[in-house]
Amino acid sequence: MADDWQKHDMAFLGGRRLRRTRRTTWSRAMVRETVLTPGDLIWPLFVIEGHNEKTQIRTMPGVERLSVDLCVEAARAARDAGIPALALFPNTPDHLRSETGAEAYNPDNLMCRALSAIKSAVPEVGLIADVALDEYSSDGQDGLVRDGEILNDETVEVMIRSALVQSRAGADIIAPSDMMDGRVGAIRAALDDEGHEQVQIMAYAAKYASCFYGPFREAVGSGGRLRGDKRTYQMDYANSDEAMREIEQDIAEGADSVMVKPGLPYLDIVRRARDSFNIPIYAYQVSGEYAMIEMAAAAGAIDRKGAILESLAAFKRAGANGVLTYFALEVARELGR
């Protein structure tokens, strides 16, 4: 009876056995649909003052804040591993933070010094400069605040000034992460007017108000000082159509690429964006996602290496052109082997 059933079953399937191509390592490699390479990875770095200084981030095991000279060393390591670009985030000293965020457009601020040093030493690596006020404000908000209200247009004016000093310092890509309306078009116009036509804009186009940013805010020193929340400008995590409108608007204003943030909980947004728009799309595997993998692996709940590679492949499978990830250097070296 078993033989009869097997013959009937195979006849019904037309002789197809989908497991045939999965039997061996070499066969799986031949039919693999999604391939991850070092060129798909962008490495975020946290910058601090000092020389030969590094500090641990309590909620991000294995990630350190680095002084500018150590960021240069990291850039060399990234280049050697085949990573095309770094994303920089400064931890501005407390005494330089203010309600106006004026340090954001100081041409000698920490971000600009890091950009200049890395571009001078390792010009082959692309530099992505974050543009938002939370790294410079005394209240942890991404925008200027008046009577509890986040000011849109006034914030955009400050962001323009910040983007210009970053471009002069060597930024290859300006990445506005604030979610203010109209900032992409305003920054694009200002960059072009000053002769920075070749500087790209990577817009944080679909950035959600998420609990997964907690470790990042500790890393840049904004979490403990945050007053209120960011829900009036970052997106509601219940919405998907709204993300498409945000992306469409940023493209219309001149974005060269767009980003979805956070990452794994928002793969549906990455997929919708890929199906809807013909533009490079990036996803950010944010600090909370990184911490979950590290802490689950430390507890023995998951295989660390397997979880890292599987999660990054998921971004590519969903349609992302690349991923910002704190695992970038480790993974690039692993893939290079």
Q: Would residue 7 show up in a list of annotated catalytic residues for this protein?
A: no
- pLDDT of 113 reads 98
- pLDDT of 8 reads 57
Provide block-wise average pLDDT over 10 residues at a time, the chain (337 residues). Answer: 57 76 95 96 98 96 97 98 98 95 97 98 98 93 93 97 98 97 98 98 97 92 81 96 98 98 98 98 98 98 98 98 98 94
- pLDDT of 102 reads 97
Q: Which of 119, 230, 261, 316 is catalytic?
A: 261
267-276 vs 241-252: helix axis angle to the nearest 10?
50
- pLDDT of 226 reads 81
* Under 8 Å between Cβ of 323 and 40: yes
- pLDDT of 110 reads 98
- pLDDT of 337 reads 84
Token match 């002789």: residue? 15
Strands (DSSP E) found in 107-261: 126-131, 144-146, 149-151, 173-176, 200-207, 257-261
- Domain limits, the chain: 40-336
Nearest alpha carbon to residue 203 among 222, 231, 183: 183
Token match 């007053």: residue? 227
- pLDDT of 4 reads 60
* Under 8 Å between Cβ of 167 and 194: yes
287-298 vs 304-318: helix axis angle to the nearest 10?
150
* Beta-bridge partner residues of 273: none
CATH H-level, domain 40-336: superfamily: Aldolase class I (3.20.20.70)
The rounded distance, in Å, linking the Cα atoms of 106 and 249 is 29
Q: Which of 119, 207, 230, 316 is catalytic?
A: 207
Q: Would residue 207 show up in a list of annotated catalytic residues for this protein?
A: yes
Q: Considering the entire predicted model, what is its pTM?
A: 0.94
* Under 8 Å between Cβ of 106 and 164: no
